[in-house]
């Protein structure tokens, strides 16, 4: 069974860049799209964007100007970079496999934006 | 952007009762509608995709129905572990996705 694990700093300063990595285990990162989804404390879910091993990426229009998603097939990882963060970017960030729905999720990682 | 509105916001029921959760889309999403269950401190878990198909390992007491703009998640007989928050999710204009705001199913 494919497993996903997010990793990255839990604290980011305002105006800096939030960087996260999702490692795919027990399966290939090829053949599927992989998404990032976030959930602010006590709130609902927001799709951030996705990527494919070919380099194709798709972004939420509300975040597109600050966002880069990439897929590294050699490491079986995909990553998220969100620039110029503010307190509004504080959330649990999830990675998920993007098939007919988000069928496999990582456990999530909490990222707090604060000085 | 397609907006999903879930109702009710909170549903209070007892184990053994039947739960009916609603999700309405601001425009047709065909059958591209999924349902997830989320428990505190956990990631969402896929229950239903394509409006009515159960995901792998999901018990038969969970069922989904609907198409177009109106969808329902039904839990036929509530088990103690079913009390959680439920989200609907549309992907009719993939890759763009939106989620509903959630329905909290609590023990009465």
| Residues B22-56 pLDDT 10s | 999 999 999 999 999 999 999 999 999 999 999 99
DSSP classification of residue B55: P
| Residues of chain B found within 8 Å of residue A102, distances taken between Cβ atoms | 34, 36, 44, 46, 89
Question: What per-residue confidence (pLDDT) applies to B3?
Answer: 97
| Residues of chain B found within 8 Å of residue A103, distances taken between Cβ atoms | 46, 49, 55
pLDDT at B63 over 90: yes
Question: What per-residue confidence (pLDDT) applies to B89?
Answer: 98
Question: What per-residue confidence (pLDDT) applies to B55?
Answer: 97
Taking alpha carbons only, the member of B78, B57, B65 closest to residue B15 is B78
For chain B, say whether A5 makes contact (Cβ under 8 Å): no
Residue ranges in chain A modelled with pLDDT below 70: none
Higher-scoring residue by pLDDT: A108, B93:
A108
CB contact under 8 A, A106 and B43: yes
Exposed (0-12), middle (13-18) or buried (19+): which is A23, by Cβ within 10 Å?
Answer: middle
Task: Print burial letters for B69-97: b (CB count within 10 Å at least 16), e (below 16).
Answer: bebbbebeebeeebbbbbbbbbbbeebbb
CB contact under 8 A, A45 and B87: yes
* Closest chain A residue to B35, measured at CA: A101
Of the partner residues B55, B96, B101, the one whose CB lies closest to the CB of residue A44 = B101
Residue-averaged pLDDT of chain B: 97
| Residues of chain A found within 8 Å of residue B34, distances taken between Cβ atoms | 100-102
| Residues of chain A found within 8 Å of residue B64, distances taken between Cβ atoms | none
**Residue with structure tokens 């799209």?**
A33
Q: Which residues contact B17 (CB under 8 A, 6 or more apart)?
A: B77, B78
pLDDT above 70 as % of chain B? 100
CB contact under 8 A, A102 and B36: yes
| Residues of chain B found within 8 Å of residue A100, distances taken between Cβ atoms | 34, 49-50
Question: What per-residue confidence (pLDDT) applies to A26?
Answer: 93
* CA geometry: angle B56, B38, B53, nearest 5 deg: 30
Question: What per-residue confidence (pLDDT) applies to A60?
Answer: 95
- Convert the pLDDT of each residue in A24-55 to its tens digit: 999 989 989 999 999 999 999 999 999 998 88
Measure in Å the smallest separation between the Cα of B76 and chain A Cα atoms.
23
Question: What per-residue confidence (pLDDT) applies to A31?
Answer: 84
Task: Report residue B94: phi and psi, to 5°.
Answer: -50, 135
Question: What per-residue confidence (pLDDT) applies to A55?
Answer: 87
Of the partner residues B44, B95, B102, the one whose CB lies closest to the CB of residue A105 = B44
Tokens of A51: 């990527």
């Amino acid at each position: 069974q494919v497993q996903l694990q997010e990793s990255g700093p839990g604290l980011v300063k305002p105006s800096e860049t939030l960087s996260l990595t999702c490692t795919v285990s027990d399966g290939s990162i090829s053949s599927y799209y992989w998404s990032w989804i976030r959930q602010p404390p006590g709130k609902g879910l927001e799709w951030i964007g996705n990527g494919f091993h070919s380099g194709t990426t798709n972004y939420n229009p509300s975040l597109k100007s600050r966002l880069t998603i990439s897929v590294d097939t050699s490491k079986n990882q995909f990553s998220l970079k969100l620039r110029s963060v503010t307190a509004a970017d504080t959330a649990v960030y999830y990675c998920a496999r993007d098939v007919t729905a988000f069928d496999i999720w990582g456990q999530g990682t909490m990222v707090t934006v604060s000085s | 952007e397609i907006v999903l509105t879930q109702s009710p916001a909170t549903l209070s029921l007892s184990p053994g009762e039947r739960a009916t959760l609603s999700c309405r889309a601001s425009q047709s999403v065909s059958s591209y509608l999924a349902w997830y269950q989320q428990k505190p401190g956990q990631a969402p878990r896929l229950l239903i995709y394509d409006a009515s198909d159960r995901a792998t390992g999901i018990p038969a007491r969970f069922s989904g129905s609907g198409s177009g703009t109106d969808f329902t998640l039904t839990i036929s007989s509530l088990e103690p572990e079913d009390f959680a928050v439920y989200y609907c999710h549309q992907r009719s204009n993939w890759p763009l996705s939106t989620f509903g705001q959630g329905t909290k199913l609590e023990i009465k």
